[in-house]
Structure 1
């Protein structure tokens, strides 16, 4: 008797880096592809400093190769940042406003969420400190005290 095999994961077909940039450009209403690429590079590098373990590996496998490199070339921080601190850190690194950086983060992470799929995204959000769900386009549900 053969052991039961798990069902294959269902997620979006692999997209190219160019397709990812176009999706971010369209969803984020960026005027140029270059501006969308700046946002993707900033946010994925930042996420790479926050995410560890199996979730990091699985997410990288679902991203276009160039996007996966941006994520995995970063050494994770020893103290992960909350969602708000993540946005403030990215803004400080680029010298842009927190509002612009928040927009960039949401535009990129919405595409990342679609590529990850709901099950992996839930695991990623359980790993990260509070404040990331909204950045990925999900409601942040907390338990009452």
Structure 2
């Protein structure tokens, strides 16, 4: 069974052979982030595929935020590069939920929380506890939280 890390490594080697600078530099940076995570703490360890997915998600989020910052700063070329790197990483992430799919999960979670007696803005934490395990890796936390707030406010 190949791990996600070994797939990244193999794809990096292929990208280097193909002289694909964008893919090779993006994968190299991502593998570095994974290695950093593995040696963080007191004991070096192998990350599980789930943990590696979290690292890739974090790297993809950095690319998205950098692309927005560059676009706002009028640096279209850098913004485009960051977006392209984000697309390289998206290949290794679970398929992201559509807005409709995410809304459906959030609405059900809000109903569950209300059934358990949670009301209004205070229900936010309880709803997030229900939603997060269901959407892990398939939707960014900020996007989930914004939608939960919106659904709770709509009552």
TM over 0.5: no
- In terms of fraction of residues, the more helix-rich structure is 2
Structure 1 length normalisation: TM-score?
A: 0.35
The structure with the larger Rg is 2
